[in-house]
């Protein structure tokens, strides 16, 4: 069942989402060659504590970190570690909080110093795919319009869409119905209604779509070792159009 949120509930989700955006911005400013993902994880946790928010991922299904930090060929759910980031890497950071009973969830993929044109292209197209997906989150549309918006843009640019992980409803739970694949034909699935709150999150690969999970049981990497990018926002479907709740 898809839980619709009242205007007041969406206001509270905007508070949680705003914190997610602020903390991601703090992390963005810190990402540079030589910095470790363990440092970024500690900063994110401290910023949650300072705001009396709880990290959404730490402990979720046993996940051991505040942020999912996934460099280069890692797709999602990477573990923070003490290995310094290197010039030319890309780093996906997925981060969420729970605040006053509601979740916010967002992700960005950031360049570490100078990155080559292929990685710049991947980041740009993945972010554009998210923006096109958000634009499809309108009252009266269908859920798979969002999915189709991601796939059509990413594939037109020569990239491929990860199938194994999907976006999701969000609210009092981190993962609510519906699941939101990043692929498929438009015009299918539930009708979009005002009050739906959705975490839309394209995961786009530079090479083939295949992924596998490493022995840690969490880290998803591309099968071909090529780079992958991930952008995510928490979005409310409203009568006035889609509203991004994870803005600073
Ligand atoms: Mg999510």
- Cβ-contact 129, 44 below 8 angstroms: no
Ligand 1: centre distance to CA 199 (Å): 5
Ligand 1: centre distance to CA 44 (Å): 17
Which residues are found with C-beta within 5 Å of the ion, ligand 1? 105, 199
Ligand 1: centre distance to CA 211 (Å): 18
Ligand 1: centre distance to CA 107 (Å): 8
Ligand 1: centre distance to CA 168 (Å): 6
Per-domain boundaries in the chain = 7-244
User: Does domain 7-244 correspond to CATH entry 3.60.20.10?
Assistant: no
- Cβ-contact 200, 137 below 8 angstroms: yes
**C-alpha to C-alpha distance for 81 and 109, rounded to whole angstroms:** 17
Phi, psi of 124 (to 5 degrees): -65, -45
pLDDT string in tens for the chain (248-residue length)? 999 999 999 999 999 999 999 999 999 999 999 999 999 999 999 999 999 999 999 999 999 999 999 999 999 999 999 999 999 999 999 999 999 999 999 999 999 999 999 999 999 999 999 999 999 999 999 999 999 999 999 999 999 999 999 999 999 999 999 999 999 999 999 999 999 999 999 999 999 999 999 999 999 999 999 999 999 999 999 999 999 999 97
Ligand 1: centre distance to CA 239 (Å): 24
| pTM of the shown model | 0.98
User: Crossing angle for the helix pair 117-135 and 143-156, nearest 10 degrees?
Assistant: 160
**Confidence (pLDDT) at 88:** 98
**C-alpha to C-alpha distance for 117 and 133, rounded to whole angstroms:** 24
**Confidence (pLDDT) at 30:** 98
**Confidence (pLDDT) at 248:** 79
Ligand 1: centre distance to CA 179 (Å): 10
> Hey, which residues does 109 pair with through a beta bridge?
92
Ligand 1: centre distance to CA 33 (Å): 27
Secondary structure (3-state) at 211: strand
**C-alpha to C-alpha distance for 234 and 170, rounded to whole angstroms:** 8
Ligand 1: centre distance to CA 140 (Å): 23
Exposure string for 107-135, b = 16+ CB within 10 A, e = fewer: bbbbbbeebeeebebbbebbbbbbebbbe
**C-alpha to C-alpha distance for 4 and 178, rounded to whole angstroms:** 11
Ligand 1: centre distance to CA 223 (Å): 22
**C-alpha to C-alpha distance for 174 and 185, rounded to whole angstroms:** 26
């Amino acid at each position: 069942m898809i839980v619709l949120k009242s205007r007041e509930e969406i206001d509270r989700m905007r508070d949680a989402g705003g914190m997610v955006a602020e903390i991601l911005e703090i992390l963005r400013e810190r990402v540079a060659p030589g910095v470790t993902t363990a440092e970024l994880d500690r900063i994110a946790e401290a910023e949650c504590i300072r705001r009396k928010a709880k990290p959404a991922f730490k402990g979720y299904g046993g996940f051991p970190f505040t942020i999912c930090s996934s460099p280069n060929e890692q797709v999602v759910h990477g573990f923070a570690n003490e290995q310094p980031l290197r010039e030319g890497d890309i780093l996906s950071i997925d981060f969420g909080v729970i605040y006053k009973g509601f979740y916010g969830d967002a992700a960005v993929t950031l360049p570490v110093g100078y990155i080559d044109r292929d990685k710049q292209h991947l980041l740009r197209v993945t972010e554009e795919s998210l923006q096109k997906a958000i634009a499809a989150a309108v009252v009266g549309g269908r859920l798979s319009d969002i999915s189709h918006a991601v796939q059509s843009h990413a594939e037109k640019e020569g990239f491929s869409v990860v199938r194994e992980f999907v976006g999701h409803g969000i609210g009092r739970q981190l993962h609510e119905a519906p699941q939101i694949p990043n692929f498929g034909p438009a015009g299918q699935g539930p009708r979009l209604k005002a009050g739906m709150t959705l975490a839309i999150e394209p995961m786009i690969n530079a090479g083939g779509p295949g992924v596998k999970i490493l022995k840690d049981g969490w880290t998803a990497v591309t099968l071909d070792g090529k780079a992958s990018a991930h952008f995510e926002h928490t979005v409310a479907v409203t009568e006035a159009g889609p509203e991004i709740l994870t803005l600073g």
